[in-house]
Each structure stands twice: as structure tokens, then as C-alpha cells.
Amino acid sequence: MKNRIIIYFTAILLVFTSSLIAQEEKENLFVDSLLNKMTLEEKIGQLVELVTPKSVTKKMLSNGNVSSILGIKDADLANELQQIAVEESRLGIPLLFTNDVIHGYNTTFPIPLAEASSWNPELIEEACRIAAVEAASNGTHLTFAPVVDITRDPRWGRIAEGSGEDVYLGSILAKARVKGFQGNDLKDKSSIGACAKHYVAYGAAEAGKDYNTVDISEITLREIYLPPFKAAVGEGVVSIMSAFNDLNGIPASANYFTLTQILRNEWGFDGFVISDYNSIPELVNHRFAQNKAEAAAKALTAGVDMDIAGNDIKWSVYAPHLDSLITNNIISEDILNESVRRVLRIKYRLGLFENPYVDIEYYKTNMPSFEERQKTALQLAKESIVLLKNQDELLPLKKDLKSITVIGELADNIHHPLGPWNTAPILENVVTPLAGIKNYVSENTEVIYIKGCSVEGIDKSEFGEAIDAAKNSDVVIMIIGETREMSGEAASRSDIGIPGVQLDLVKEITKTGKPVVAVLMNGRPLTIPWLDESVPAILETWFLGDQTGNAVAEVLFGDYNPSGKLPATFPRNVGQIPLYYSHKSTGRPFNEDDKYTAKYLDVDVTPLYSFGYGLSYTQFEYADLRTSKEFYTKDENIDVVLEVTNTGKRNGEEVVQLYITDKFASVTRPVKELKDFQKVFFKAGETKKINFTITPDKLSFYDVYMNKIIEPGEFVISVGGNSHDYITTLFQIIE
């Protein structure tokens, strides 16, 4: 019987493998056959994307001068343009329509940094599925997402678009987002292609200034910044976007080492690479290319397949220069052919040659209901909220308070909850914090709203009105933080404190003696030491999208017990930046009793809030952490078990985080590294046994020769609710 089962499954595997080989051969035959029919002009056209449909002429499409168009959000227009490309061009090659679907399309979900605070990859994947079908219904074939940049500098505005500072969490969420967008079948009408960006190390920009230089070691590149991209490639991502930054002296959009040697030769990526907007001509600004022709040659030979050319074909670098570069033998047509082959391959995989048009009728009956989409948006928004402080259990608030004063410009604005990079939002779907609070309180509770001040201004004329209202209320809810324009691309800040006079207003309100809850809306970690010292309750809500108000209210009034954990460290001040949990020990690690150690004279060396930190309305106790044995070989899995108990009186979720410390290595290692986590629901008083498996790969690192190795030695396992508070045990790897 056993032999029969083995033979049966072997036969299935052979059939499956044969099917995959047959599909690959069919794809290659189709692409090569088409490529052999193409003129040089048509080949070059397949490497050009324009960013607005207004700039595309019928002649361009019928001549095959354009491969892709960014920014179409209308199915009828998509079909109109596609018809010209498919039915009026010589070869009928379909267009690829792209958009930046970063955190939702019509349904706006929390910004990616907020989503990362949920530590819930399954829910994030679900949100991306919804975004994919909404975008596809309006003509989108490929999204320029996910953003998988790791960053340790909150001054950088685009921290809002990624998953924060940690490699492991960032890699897990990169896979979840790719899977969400692309689904199980790229040809499915509810799927769109994904494009991981910005390749690579864009988040390491010096001084947190967007587009800036990056200079890091190869070990740092391979261990910190590359893994989320590798995870995306492993999940089958169809495209990669090359970044703006200079990387170790070679701009990322002309970097053969990263684009070809690593991405293609080492990882086997067979999708296409597209430049970020204008990043190829900017090689001239980098002073890496003398002119745009040389920029085109360097980018193409390095491995950038498609040029985002701007609003006009004249802005393209590939369109006007590749012809002469090839005919003059400056670059080989074989290189051009390979790039064209990659683009055609992905169009084939997306099913565009079979079904180039948007099936408008399909989406009328196959779109998730509005209620389903908003339910997911609400759940993700709730799980993205992080409780930073709750002195004397001020929260949750009672719903039947006599009077509540809500203060802040952000409380009653439908635009800011959307955050940066919202794609095609429906404004009437946005629930503001003020509206959410009014929805949740008793009908006998008076909710008074006072703007108090603007986010960025210096006008204090409404302070008096706000103070008077606070004096007559049971509690004051201050909605403060950043506008949505203050984070995202080209939105770096040198001062990441609370902008404008908002903090001055909070200080005046606290003088009334009334309990104050600070609700933060922002796209990055902020420096808020005064708030931490002086305000009894603080909620980090980020920009939560459509369901902002309902999510905030459910947490404020206790219908949902907050479970969010920080994906990025909150510094005490900007002088601590870069500040991240997985730092090295140094030769003189911090010791508060020794003057000559790694610390500051003027500020505590520790963060204000550590990576992984987040409170709950209940409490969790960790105990009995152990491994199945003490000694392991390099190729063995390590089974870890512990007990976690909800010792409080409320049900709640806890993100159980597992960190590893390599006590000695041939290359200096971080003090600890996140290697696994589980989000677990506990009833009040409930104890659960939690199991983890540490695979050998989680103990590996790069040596000085860039070999991935596992060394024998002693390791510390730390498990807890954040990167600072945990219990530990030891194990050893032997030869």
C-alpha cells in the first residue's frame, strides 16, 4: 500500500512538472516567435512607458511606440486605447496599464507602515486582493507596489509606504502583498501584477533626505536591504522598480551588480525591471553619464528593461537613443532583445494576449460587496492602532460620559485620513475621527468639536475656545500629528516632532486638569517625549484610510482591544537617528555606570518606544521558554515552546515575538534579530502553549567573503511582547 501511494504521488509530481515545462516552452515559443517579427522601432517601443494617457497619440499606438501607460483609471478609456494597440498596430501587441496602488484603490486601507503595525500578513494579503480586483476593474494590469524598502531613519518621508525597520517583518509582508495582488493565477481577472520597489537600499538615504546618496557595506546590503526583494522574487513578483539613489558610487538604475548579478544571476528573476520616474536621465545629474544617450546605454546594459518616460515621448531616454546606440554598435541588439523578451513574457503571463480588454460585465457580478471591502478596511485599521501609553487605565473610555471635547484640525478632515499615495479614493466613504466618536458614544453624550489650531500654522486665536470647552468636559481627545502631505515621496522632515503649535495647545489643555487622550495621525515615528511624560493616554493611529474614525472610536471606547505593535522605533529626539533595535554591540556597549561607553551626554541612549512595542487593555505573562534539547547540528530545526497567559480581565490579542542573538561569530552580529512571530488571541485568564520552529536559514549570515554560512556556537532565544521585554533560553549549534 505504501509503495502504491509513493508511486501515485510521484506520478502526480511528474505530470505537474511536465505541465510546467510545457507551459514554459509554450511561453518561450510564443515570445520568441513574436520577437523575431519585430522591427527595431517596435522593439524599442516595448521598453517605453508614458505616465498620462493624454500624451499618447493614436499614431504612437498604431506604430507600436508605447508599451505601457501609467495612470489610467477608467475601463472604457483603457479599452479604447487597447483597441488601437491590438487592432490597428502591425503586430497587435497589447498595452500594459499601470498604477500606484500602494494601500488600496477605491477602498483606502491604512498606509503600509500602519498595516505593518498589525503584524497580520493574512489580513494585509486580503486587503491587497481587494485592491487588486478594484484596480483591475478600472483597467490596471500592474501596480507599482509593494514598497519593500527597509529604513531606520524616520525623517525619510517614504517610511510611510513600507513596513518599517525590520528585515524579517518586511520580508514576510512583502510576500503577503505580492500574493495578495497577484493571487494564485496571474491571468485571473481579479489579479494584477506586482512590482517590488525601490531596488535597492533607497530607504538608507543619507540624512533621511529623499533621493539622496546611499553608501553601505555589501554585508549590510545583503543582510538588511536585499532580503525583502528576494522574498518578493520568491513569491513570483513579475516586476522590480529600480531606485533613484546612488548606491556605493553606482546609481541604482544603472547598477549591473544589483540588477543583473544579484537579481537575475543569483536569484533567477525572469520578470522585467522598470525605472522609477525619470531615474534614467537622472544618471546625468548623478554625473555618472555625460548625456542622455550614455544614460540609456548604461541603464539598459545594467538591466533596466523599461523606461518610465514622463508625460511626453520626447522625455524618453530609450525611445530617441536606443536606435542609434544599436546601429552604431555601442550596445548589442542581443541586450535589447533580452529586455523586450522580458516585457513580452510578463504581458503573456498576465494573459493580455488572450484577453487584452477589461471585461466590464465580469466585475459587476464578481466584485466583493461594499460591505465586505469596508469590513476588511475596518479590521485592518483597528489592528494597525498602537496603544503607546495608558496611565491609570484611562482607556477605554465610557460611552455614556456626559461631555467629550474633541480638538484638532485632523479630527474633522476627510482628506488626511487617506494618507499619502491614495489611488482613486471615494471621499464619501471616509469616516473622520470626529464622526467615528459621535457614532460610538451614547445619545446622551455631548460631543463638542473645536479646531483649536491648524496642523502647520502658528495661529493661536482659537486656543481660548478650546480651553473653555475642555474645562466643561469629562475628557478631552486631542487629534494631532501630521497632514498627509507631510509624509510620502519628497516629504522628508529634519524635525519629526509635532508640527505647528499643536503641542502648545496640548500643553494648555493639560493645565485644565481634565484627562487628555492624545490620538496621533502621522506617517512616520515622531519625537514626542513631552507627550509621553505629560499626557496619560496616547494612541498611535497613523493614517488609517476609509475606516479611520470607526477604528479609532472602537479602540477609544473598548469595543476593540488594541493589539498593534510598532514596526519602527520611536526616538527621543532626532539626534539619536538612525536608531533601531538590531544594532551592533560595539566594543564598549552601553553601561550607565561607566562614562566611556556608547551613549549620549544629553539624552538617554534608549528609544522612547522600542520596535515591537504596543500596549493592550489586558496584560500578558510569558513563562517556561524552552527548546526540545540543548545541542543541535547545523542542519536541524530547533523546536521552541513557551506558555503565554492573559493575566488581565479582558480578551485580547498578543503578538508573540521571537528574537535570536548569536553570542559569538566571525563577523559582528546584531544584539538581537526578529526571526518569527505569531499573533494570538487569548480569552481573559487563558494560557496557551506557543510553538516556534527555528530553521537553519534563520541562523545563517554572510561572512566577509559574502558566503551564507552557519557557525557553531551558543545562541540566545528571546521571546516577548516587544524587542525590549522578554524571557530567554539558550541552545548550541555544534559541528
Q: Is 76 annotated as catalytic? A: no
- What is the C-alpha to C-alpha distance for residues 43 and 558, in angstroms, rounded to an integer? 60
- What is the C-alpha to C-alpha distance for residues 686 and 619, in angstroms, rounded to an integer? 11
CA-based torsion, 494, 496, 497, 501: positive or negative? positive
- What is the C-alpha to C-alpha distance for residues 577 and 646, in angstroms, rounded to an integer? 35
Contact 714, 663 (CB under 8 A): yes
What's the gap between Cα 672 and its chain centre? 22
Per DSSP bridges, beta strands 652-662 and 713-720 are antiparallel
- What is the C-alpha to C-alpha distance for residues 148 and 229, in angstroms, rounded to an integer? 7
**Number of other CB atoms surrounding residue 578 within 10 Å:** 15
- What is the C-alpha to C-alpha distance for residues 258 and 268, in angstroms, rounded to an integer? 12
- What is the C-alpha to C-alpha distance for residues 542 and 113, in angstroms, rounded to an integer? 8
Contact 335, 301 (CB under 8 A): yes
- List 276, 305, 307, 662, catalytic entry: 276
State the cell numbers at 321: 537613443
Provide φ and ψ at 358, rounded to 5°.
-75, 125
- 103, 433, 515, 580 from 553: Cα distances, Å: 22, 7, 17, 31
Does residue 281 have a cis bond before it (omega within 30 degrees)?
Answer: no
Per DSSP bridges, beta strands 638-646 and 620-627 are antiparallel
State the cell numbers at 623: 513563562
Q: Which residue type does 13 have?
A: L
- What is the C-alpha to C-alpha distance for residues 418 and 491, in angstroms, rounded to an integer? 16
State the cell numbers at 547: 475606516
- What is the C-alpha to C-alpha distance for residues 294 and 288, in angstroms, rounded to an integer? 9
Which contiguous run of DSSP H or E holds residue 469?
helix 463-471
Which contiguous run of DSSP H or E holds residue 125?
helix 121-137
- 97, 364, 447 from 73: Cα distances, Å: 9, 16, 39
Q: Which residue type does 142 have?
A: L
Which contiguous run of DSSP H or E holds residue 335?
helix 333-349
Contact 576, 663 (CB under 8 A): no
- What is the C-alpha to C-alpha distance for residues 735 and 733, in angstroms, rounded to an integer? 7
Q: HSE on the CB side for 495, CA within 13 Å? A: 6
**Number of other CB atoms surrounding residue 393 within 10 Å:** 9
CA-based torsion, 410, 415, 421, 427: positive or negative? positive
**Number of other CB atoms surrounding residue 3 within 10 Å:** 7
Residue 11: which of 608, 372, 3 has the closest Cα? 3
State the cell numbers at 565: 505593535
State the cell numbers at 139: 483597467
In sequence order, what are the residues at sequence separation of 6 or more whose Cβ sits closer than 8 angstroms to the Cβ of residue 263? 199, 229, 233, 240, 269, 273, 303
CA-based torsion, 422, 426, 432, 436: positive or negative? negative
- Active-site residues, by number, are 276
